[in-house]
Structure 1
């Protein structure tokens, strides 16, 4: 048994490596630079963690994601492996202490963000460490052609001069052929060993299903497939609503989103991981480090932003090798809604500049000052103060973070957890006795579904806006309800942290990065269009469409996706006739057609698609089909 396999068994309790983990590890141990393109779930972290343990010294891991760094450090520590992270917002004295620990404390892994490499004194301190391996996670960030370019990644190549005899490992889950070449060149790799794993998942059936009644379709799918499932939604409100609706329908479901406390996230994640509930309804905050082999079905009820995200999320199904399903439910209004959600909130140069200047003014930073200054930050208050749209502002600040201009931590943590603890009838009685608070309480009840069953994080500024009130009055109403034992109330510190990594230079700063903003926005629009094409194309095998996007050729149709199944069905002309006759009387929704004709949803969709292609029917503003 090899030493690498012994380490895997000891710390990870696995009997064998996944393809091509062992070959990557061997190449590193032989002293090579390595580029590895491994799809989601391919076990990228093991590729540097196993050799990092075997080699003498400390493994330096460069990662752009603070949450992922913390997660990896915690996982290593649970396995009794010494690891530490150097994240943004850490004071210089704390950085010195951390690096001293790395030098004298027998640590095996040091995680840091690429922006740290912009500080010469930190690189000088790294020189004093015995670096055994340098791993670059999310390596596509080094390429301006990648979907998440970060200029700070270009500084990594300088480490080749500092550590000429150390192996470098570049890891990514998504990179076109053009991006792969760019990564290798920008990191100054010489004769690297290159490993790529196929993106094809032969046991995973990709289904795109058009339906106007998504909840009914979910019920049908989950009744048929009773094994573990994930339902992805695009926002926290839908997360709570769908979870609550499924529980009322008799399923066992929990939920997961970024606004939950760490304790709540862990509790909900564990009951799902341990199969105490069938379903977890989640935003894209759920997924990091999730490796549950028996997930049978992953359902998306909102369009993902791009195919990279879709592949990553849907790929959590069927990791045990058994047949599994990735199901995307869509209706006639989804594209319009998704465009509004994703594209209308992309900041342009002028908006970005305005946000940056106002941020500096907000913290009273003078021109030419602000370097390494750290501030508590509340996004909602900032946006309310300057009348900025929240999501667009968040995207602007996130872009400034990716460019290394500032470092942002713990954004979007809510301040107040609320749960009504008296029956709804008693709440109505309370409102009749407190008429000044009636609109505020009604707004809370309308906005936060499930607030009688569970504690929910609420946003006072949003409630104030919806109820034509003020944040102060909302807080007063909430505290009054708490004192009257109407609600349980928990208050948390919701301040994020912003660290300014550069002095304030206004237009000089924004002009320097604006070209990257334009490129990023263009790429996001193109990637979203590819997502729409994937959904709307009913002529090409879904597996082929997905693999072509990732530059992988495949000759044969998969035979199990929604397109292949539709192609292989013999169309019943009589079914088309029955639907036409039904629509002759009145317009009907797809669900009404299904119920009145007593046919399956697949047959209904198939018949409607056939009639739509023949231009015999159309759909009205009420999502009902009618004869033309």
Structure 2
């Protein structure tokens, strides 16, 4: 058994490497720069962890994601491997101690963000550490054409001058040909050996279905496939709502989003990992470090932002090699919603400039000052004060974070959570007896329909606006309801934290990064177009569409996606079904569920037939989600 395999067996208890892992490890050990594109589930981290353990010294891992760094360090520590992450919020004294540990304490891995490399004193300390390998994770961040460009990645190439004999290993799970060229150029990789695993996942059936009743469709899917499932939704409210609805339907369901406390995240994750819950409803905060092999179904209820994200999230299905399903449920309104969420909320230069100025005013930072100052920050309060749209402002702050102008913790959980603990009829009775509280309570009930079923994150600034009452009045009513045991109510203290990394220079700061903003906005628009093409294209294999997007040419149809299955259906059977549907609709308007029952056919077949009749403009959907003949 080779030494690499022995280490894999000893620490990870695996008997063999995944495709390309061993070849990448051998190349890194030979001292060559290496580029590795391994799609989701390909096991990128093993490619630098195993060779680092085989050599004297420490592996420097550069990663943009604090959560991912913490997850990998915890994972290594659980295997008795010494690892450290220099994340935000660590004081200088503590950081000096940690770097001393790296230099003298026999540590094997040092994780840090690219922004840390911009500190001269950290760079000086790194020169004194015996580094055996430099691994750049999420390497697509170096490319302006990547889906998460971070200018700080452009500075990584400077490490070449300080560590000329140390091999670089650039790793990514998703990169087009253009992005790959950028990675090699911008990281100054010297004659790199390139490894690229195909993006094809032959066991995953990519399905796209139009459905006016998504919950009913989800119910059918989960009944047919009772194995572990993930449902991806767009926001935290949908997490709670869909999870509660599935529980009402008899499914064991839990949820996961960025606003949960660490304890709640761990509890809900374990419920799903241990299969005490069949399904976990999650935002895209869920996924990093998740390696559950037997996920049967990944369902997206709304359009993803780009193909890269969709491929990674869908790829969490079927890692055991058995047939699995990646299902995207769409409705006509999704296209407008996606445009509103992903395109109309993009910050332009004018809004970015305004947000940056007001942010400095908000914290009373004078021109030429503010560097390294840290503040607690509540996004809703900030937007409420200046009447800014929340999503557009959040995107502006995220952009400033990626440009290293400021550092923003991503925990935007609300300060308050509450739940009504008496029946709705009793709440109505209370309002009739206390008319002064009625507007606030009604605003709460209209905004949070699931507030009777579960503890719900609560935005007091939003309720203040909706009820035309001051925030102070809203909080007073909550205290009153709590004292009368009408609600359970608790305050949280985990506002976001915000650190200014530069002195305040207003327009000079924004002008410097505006060109990146314009490029990123154009990229996001073209990426959403690619998603729409994937959804709307009904004459090409879905797997083939994804592979073409990532630059793989001359691929064969998969035979199992929604398009390929539709091609296998017998034309005569479909023609008779079309005739039957038209006959039924001549008598009355019907929903897809009613048509499925009346025609005694499967859900997939009826949806395919309805989509075909819609495309031929024989039928149309009415606002009440029933089908009718086109006049």
TM-score scaled by structure 1? Answer: 0.97
Query: Could you say what secondary structure the match of 1:557 adopts?
Result: coil
What is the rounded CA distance, in whole Å, between the counterparts of 1:247 and 1:195 in structure 2? 45
Structure 2 gaps, min length 5? none
What is the rounded CA distance, in whole Å, between the counterparts of 1:153 and 1:283 in structure 2? 27
Match of 2:601 in 1: 599
Shift of 1:112: 1.1
What is the rounded CA distance, in whole Å, between the counterparts of 1:554 and 1:247 in structure 2? 45
Shift of 1:383: 0.8
Match of 1:30 in 2: 30
What is the rounded CA distance, in whole Å, between the counterparts of 1:409 and 1:146 in structure 2? 22
What is the rounded CA distance, in whole Å, between the counterparts of 1:434 and 1:307 in structure 2? 52
State yes or no: 1:219 paired with 2:219: yes
Match of 2:146 in 1: 146
Match of 1:497 in 2: 497
Query: Paired residue for 1:585, among 584, 587, 600?
Result: 587
Q: Is the 8 A contact 1:240 1:449 kept in 2?
A: no
What is the rounded CA distance, in whole Å, between the counterparts of 1:483 and 1:606 in structure 2? 55
Shift of 1:236: 1.0
Shift of 1:623: 3.6
Structure 1 gaps, min length 5? none
Match of 2:62 in 1: 62
What is the rounded CA distance, in whole Å, between the counterparts of 1:268 and 1:408 in structure 2? 26
> Per the alignment, do residues 614 and 445 of structure 1 end up closer, same or farther by CA in structure 2, a change over 3 Å counting?
closer
What is the rounded CA distance, in whole Å, between the counterparts of 1:374 and 1:243 in structure 2? 36
What is the rounded CA distance, in whole Å, between the counterparts of 1:355 and 1:624 in structure 2? 44
Q: Is the 8 A contact 2:210 2:611 kept in 1?
A: no
Q: Is the 8 A contact 1:418 1:455 kept in 2?
A: yes
Residues 426-462 of structure 1: per-residue CA shift (max 9 Å, x gap):
3333333333222222332333343333322222112
Match of 2:610 in 1: 608
> Per the alignment, do residues 200 and 276 of structure 1 end up closer, same or farther by CA in structure 2, a change over 3 Å counting?
same
Query: Paired residue for 1:574, among 573, 576, 586?
Result: 576
State yes or no: 1:519 paired with 2:516: no
What is the rounded CA distance, in whole Å, between the counterparts of 1:555 and 1:340 in structure 2? 34
Q: Is the 8 A contact 1:89 1:499 kept in 2?
A: no
Match of 1:318 in 2: 318
State yes or no: 1:116 paired with 2:116: yes
Match of 1:159 in 2: 159
Matches for 1:256-295 after TM superposition, within 5 Å: 256-295=256-295
Residues 221-274 of structure 1: per-residue CA shift (max 9 Å, x gap):
111111111111111111111111111111111111111111111111111111
The size of the alignment, in residue pairs, is 628
Shift of 1:298: 0.8
What is the rounded CA distance, in whole Å, between the counterparts of 1:426 and 1:612 in structure 2? 47
Q: Is the 8 A contact 2:258 2:411 kept in 1?
A: no
Match of 1:414 in 2: 414
Matches for 1:109-508 after TM superposition, within 5 Å: 109-508=109-508
What is the rounded CA distance, in whole Å, between the counterparts of 1:516 and 1:375 in structure 2? 26
Farther off after superposition, 201-210 or 75-84: 75-84
State yes or no: 1:9 paired with 2:9: yes
Residues 498-531 of structure 1: per-residue CA shift (max 9 Å, x gap):
1111111111111111111011011101000100
Q: Is the 8 A contact 1:31 1:166 kept in 2?
A: yes
Shift of 1:587: 3.4
Farther off after superposition, 258-267 or 101-110: 101-110
Match of 1:618 in 2: 620
Farther off after superposition, 260-269 or 373-382: 373-382
Shift of 1:207: 0.7
Farther off after superposition, 344-353 or 28-37: 28-37
RMSD: 1.6
What is the rounded CA distance, in whole Å, between the counterparts of 1:11 and 1:413 in structure 2? 36
Residues 597-624 of structure 1: per-residue CA shift (max 9 Å, x gap):
3332223222223323333223344443
Shift of 1:554: 4.0
What is the rounded CA distance, in whole Å, between the counterparts of 2:313 and 2:449 in structure 1? 26
Matches for 1:37-116 after TM superposition, within 5 Å: 37-116=37-116
Farther off after superposition, 486-495 or 257-266: 486-495
What is the rounded CA distance, in whole Å, between the counterparts of 1:603 and 1:481 in structure 2? 51
Q: Is the 8 A contact 2:409 2:498 kept in 1?
A: yes
